Amino acid sequence: MVSHNYLLTVLTFFPLMGTFALLLLSGDDHVWIRRFTLFASVIEFIMSLFLLRGFDLATPSYQFEEVYNWIPSLHIHYHMGVDGISLFLVLLTTFLTPLAVLCSWNSIHEHVKEFFAMLLVLEMGMVGVFCALDLFLFFVFWEVMLIPMYFLIGVWGHGRKIYAALKFILYTMLGSILMLVAILWLYRLTSAAGNPTFDLPAIQAMLSSGQISLPWRSELLLFLAFFLAFAIKVPLFPLHTWLPDAHTEAPTAGSVILAGVLLKMGTYGMLRFCLPLFPTAAHRAAPVIATLAIIGIIYAALVAMVQTNLKRLVAYTSVSHLGFVVLGIFVFNSTAMEGAIYQMLNHGVSTGMLFLVCGMIYDRRHTYEFSELGGLAKPMPVLCAFFLFACLSSLALPILNGFIGEFMILIGTFHHHPGWAAWAATGAILSAVYLLWAYQRVALEKVTVAKNENLPDASPRERLILIAASVVILFMGVASPLFTHRMDATTNALLQQVQTTASYESHTRHAAPKSARASAPGAPSHELAMRAVTLTSERRTQP
Amino acid sequence: MFPPLQDLYRIAPEIVLCAAGMLIMVIDPFVAAGHKRSMGWLGFAGTLIALASLRWAAMNTGPAYSGLLRMDMFSLFVHGIVISVAALAILGSFDYLDREGIQRGEYYALILFATAGMGILASANELITAFIGLEMSSISTYILAGFRRNVLKSNESSLKYFLLGSFATAFFLYGIALTYGATRSTRFDVINQAIANHGTGTLLILGLGLIFVGLGFKVVAAPFQIYTPDVYEGAPTPVTAILACGPKAAAFAVMLRIFYSAFGNASHVWFWAIWVSAVLTMCIGNFAALVQTNVKRLLAYSSIAHAGYILVAFVAASQMGAAAVLFYLAAYAAMTLGAFLIVAHVGGTGEQRLNISDYAGLGTRHPWIAACFALFLFSLLGLPATAGFLGKFYAFQAALDQRIVWLVVIAAINSVIGAYYYLKVVVAMYFNEPNKEWAPTPMHAPMFIVLLITASATIYLGILPNRLMEFAIASARSLR
């Protein structure tokens, strides 16, 4: 493990070094700028794979930890570490960034150097968010990351890009500023307890050991302040309006990163902060949050169905799918929670791939309107085949990745709240409707617009991108235990913590009567189904 | 009787600044019109020597002139800010004054005198001394605001500043009189003792209120902020830069001394006044800035809003609050000075390009200037890894530490509102196409150095703020 001492720091700041190196290149040398960025991001990905090798399956605690004093007068530390939740999110980030670089190969013509520099800065921010274990450090990465995204949308986007960029950044800032107040309030509590710190594990320990006692009202307020920031990022149903605009107007690389990684930061934040720090409030708020998530799942699916713009449709699918993730988190059940984490990864890859395909179509036709597309399978059979593959993955076809995640979430939810699961499942059906219908309108039928007759099929570069994404999708579909194994320890520890701290809550409220109703017919079939799906049996016994 | 040598050490910076100012006034008539810039270099040297003399003063801390002044860590901190602001502003003024054809020796001399006044404010240990410092800095800045004599707006600015400023200082003086009447002293420590012994009577509260009016004017706290946009807009931009950083820092310093040291025992009296004023200041500054199209006015309103954030820390009435105010003042000085000097540079001859639309496409035309400006704007906005964020962070923390929750929530929401107008300028610089061509103004070495220093200070304080923070904490500790 000695060699891994600085791995997270290297992973976080390597892209920044890449940015500085990039700035030294001449701005006109587009070829080398692209090659260099690709090289840097691939190296970053390879380095991130070392995380897998050194990762210890058995322990739920943070690994690859680094702690240094940063601002001693405020007790701020530079504390990095990953666990089973963040491990794969880091990998997802480092995997999607090279794809984003590749897909921008020929579609960015202006300010090429600045574009790739922004991408690398963005990567630094994203990796930093997932690794930071100090609340201050986390907040720094969380906010700093907004700026490159803001520029990506505003400078290289299309259509109403300025409106979309401003909306994106103001929405996110509004959420996060209240989180900052909550962070400071937590700090005040720790200093009142005699050990002022911003360190997440320390605060967590102080909260669960009762060193800091939170009155019920302030716990709820703190929970809401954190939750609002994350819910906007996810985005949860009534807060989602920034997303379609940002997604639609962003350049392809921006959309891929936005959908693939940025949205996950919201759900990641819920797992990392909301649940372990404020378990009671989380339990009490869970019915409301789950309801909003279910409304989001169905509402966004319905809205997606009537879109006339392919990219906007894909954007709405994100709202719907992330609703599943939020639902999976807030049923407090290890199957559903692992499903949620898994679905975060799935969604990153599948929706990322959908946006990549959208981008490739846009590169050829400069439009996302369905009326301008149609019958594209004839001129571009390969591209459309991959498009179908991405759609199937996104609508959760068995043996592809999306199925596992969604299924685990639904089964876990069903165990406690069959009603919720039933409603959420309609979203899964609707997703088949809108995605296949979208595919039909884009790829099948007759070529309606003359321009579409002679479009070139996927180039080798594009095939490389799509194959890479497809391989991962298929791999995640058949080899899910490789992933879920690594999440087990963390998820169980997290749930245990949430449950023990808030146990009286869950018993008195909803869990007891409903699970009694559900478990009798539900549990055996659930157990069977899990065996079939994940090829693992013993470790998933219900708590 | 000649004062003891130590007393001279304790006002060494002021002596140096005034001496340099007078030297400039004396030499100026003998310098040919084309070589007036050398007066600027003389002034710059004066500020550097004054900075160096701080070290002298630092080795001889303590009260001077039978307790009229007090050279302590706190005073050193504020001296550091105001003298650095003066030094950088002098460097940043060279090109501007040449362009406007008002390159004259008095300009630099007045900056030095104003800075000396601010220095006295920073070390004042007694109300009359504070008044002298206030007048010294004010009168010099009144003249500086009208330095573009041929421009109507500059005249308006100067006159407005002078008339309203005179009113404000009159209020201040009244406040002093009433306080003296109530406590039989103008010394801070004696006032503090008197309040501890006899409590606060009506007379004293009235006096405190009038003092707040006078100082509120100088720190641009609502409802005394009305003059700010017009004065800031009309004054020559480098002078605006000084106005926004220097006098504000000094006035906040003396306000800290008066409210924390002299009226520390009466904090229950002024708590709500400052609380309300902070809310008003933030809201007025931010909401008015939303609709501005002139960058200089926008930054003027933003400086009102920032005074509000500083007041949030001020309300805390704790040692941490004082440290947060000091840190914020330093961070704010770095970013605001840089931002205003860029406005001066981009404005060109006659300050003709001040609209946000004039900044369109600056990102491609002058990438480095635009990058610096964006950095300052992001810092003013409070983005992490910049000085502005740490300032806000510290201020909010100080207030929360005293369980002042709602004010912090209001401040936090305000800072998001503020984000909109700062980003509006960034949008113009980077997302909009340049709408008209102009020959790029050449950037000379002095201006370049100023931008380099302010930009690196903004980043440095954002990433490694610990040193300054410890200094601020030590200064706050020396306050009582």
Q: What is the pLDDT of residues A469-496, one digit of tens each?
A: 999 998 988 888 888 888 888 888 888 8
Coil/strand/helix, residue A129: helix
Dump pLDDT digits (tens) for A261-282. Answer: 999 999 999 999 988 888 888 8
A180 touches chain B (CB under 8 A): yes
Q: Which pLDDT does position B437 carry in this prediction?
A: 65
Q: How far apart are CA A462 and CA A104, in angstroms?
A: 10
Q: Which residues of A touch B409 (CB under 8 A)?
A: 178, 181
**Residue A69 bridge partners (DSSP):** A77
Q: Which of residues 378-397 of B touch A (CB under 8 A)?
A: 378, 383-385, 389, 393-394, 396-397
Q: Which of residues 79-118 of A touch B (CB under 8 A)?
A: 111
- H/E run at residue B21: helix B12-27
Q: Which pLDDT does position A502 carry in this prediction?
A: 56
Q: Which pLDDT does position B172 carry in this prediction?
A: 94
Distances from the Cα of B75 to the Cα of A76, A310, A468, B51, B119, angstroms: 28, 63, 63, 13, 8
Which of A12, A16, A71 to mutate to probe the B interface, most B CBs <10 Å?
A71
Give the nearest chain A residue to B429 (CA atoms). A155
Spell out the SS3 assignment of A185-213.
HHHHHHHHCCCCCCEHHHHHHHHHCCCCC
Q: How far apart are CA A304 and CA B169, in angstroms?
A: 64
User: Do B385 and A174 lie within an 8 Å CB cutoff?
Assistant: no
Coil/strand/helix, residue B69: strand
Distances from the Cα of B328 to the Cα of A18, B35, B196, B232, B463, angstroms: 33, 38, 30, 21, 15
Q: Which pLDDT does position A528 carry in this prediction?
A: 41
Distances from the Cα of B136 to the Cα of A363, B111, B112, B226, B234, angstroms: 66, 11, 11, 22, 21
**A210/chain B closest Cα distance in angstroms:** 20
Q: Which pLDDT does position B230 carry in this prediction?
A: 92
Q: Which residues of B touch A185 (CB under 8 A)?
A: 400, 405
Domain count, chain B: 1
B469 touches chain A (CB under 8 A): yes
Q: Which residues of A touch B378 (CB under 8 A)?
A: 147
Coil/strand/helix, residue A92: helix
Q: Which of residues 5-24 of B touch A (CB under 8 A)?
A: none
Spell out the SS3 assignment of A33-66.
HHHHHHHHHHHHHHHHHHHHHHCCCCCCCCEEEE
Q: Which pLDDT does position A542 carry in this prediction?
A: 41
Give the nearest chain A residue to B374 (CA atoms). A147
Q: Which pLDDT does position A509 carry in this prediction?
A: 44
Among A143, A169, A185, the residue with its CB nearest the CB of B400 is A185
Q: Which pLDDT does position B438 carry in this prediction?
A: 65
**A110/chain B closest Cα distance in angstroms:** 11
User: Do A155 and B431 lie within an 8 Å CB cutoff?
Assistant: yes
**A243/chain B closest Cα distance in angstroms:** 18
Dump pLDDT digits (tens) for A23-71. Answer: 888 777 888 888 888 999 999 999 988 888 888 888 888 888 888 888 8
Q: Which residues of B touch A70 (CB under 8 A)?
A: 466
A17 touches chain B (CB under 8 A): no
B84 touches chain A (CB under 8 A): no
Q: What is the mean pLDDT of chain A?
A: 84
Q: Which residues of B touch A187 (CB under 8 A)?
A: 397, 400
Q: How far apart are CA A273 and CA A231, in angstroms?
A: 13
Q: What angle do CA B326, B329, B333 make, to 5 degrees?
A: 150
Give the nearest chain A residue to B424 (CA atoms). A166
Give the nearest chain A residue to B426 (CA atoms). A151
User: Do B412 and A178 lie within an 8 Å CB cutoff?
Assistant: yes
Closest CA to A529 of A408, A428, A445: A408
Give the nearest chain A residue to B402 (CA atoms). A188
According to DSSP, residue A69 is labeled E
CB B414 within 8 A of CB B283: yes
Q: How far apart are CA B315 and CA B213, in angstroms?
A: 16
Give the nearest chain B residue to A137 (CA atoms). B384
Q: How far apart are CA A93 and CA B297, in angstroms?
A: 42
Give the nearest chain A residue to B474 (CA atoms). A73
Domain borders along chain A are 2-536
Q: Which pLDDT does position B374 carry in this prediction?
A: 93
Taking residue B467's Cβ as centre, other Cβ atoms within 10 Å add up to 12
Among B378, B408, B416, the residue with its CB nearest the CB of A174 is B416
Q: Which pLDDT does position B436 carry in this prediction?
A: 65
Q: Which of residues 191-230 of B touch A (CB under 8 A)?
A: none
Among B408, B420, B473, the residue with its CB nearest the CB of A73 is B473
Q: Where do runs of H (alpha helix) occur along B316-444? A: 319-347, 362-365, 367-381, 387-401, 405-426
Q: Which pLDDT does position A490 carry in this prediction?
A: 85
B400 touches chain A (CB under 8 A): yes
User: Do A147 and B383 lie within an 8 Å CB cutoff?
Assistant: yes
- Percentages helix, strand, coil for chain B (3-state, rounded to 5) are 80, 0, 15
Taking 70 as the pLDDT cut, the residues of chain A under it are 1-4, 500-543
Taking 50 as the pLDDT cut, the residues of chain B under it are none
Dump pLDDT digits (tens) for A215-263. Answer: 888 889 999 999 999 999 888 888 888 888 888 888 888 899 988 899 9
Taking residue A417's Cβ as centre, other Cβ atoms within 10 Å add up to 26
* Maximal C-alpha separation, chain A: 73
- What does pTM read for this prediction? 0.90
A155 touches chain B (CB under 8 A): yes
Q: Which pLDDT does position A416 carry in this prediction?
A: 85
- Omega of the bond leading into A251 within 30 degrees of 0 (cis): no
Which of A180, A187, A198 to mutate to probe the B interface, most B CBs <10 Å?
A180
**A436/chain B closest Cα distance in angstroms:** 37
Distances from the Cα of A272 to the Cα of A84, A222, B127, B375, angstroms: 11, 14, 53, 31
Domain that holds residue B321: 5-477
Q: Which pLDDT does position A129 carry in this prediction?
A: 93
Q: Which residues of B touch A170 (CB under 8 A)?
A: 416, 419-420, 423
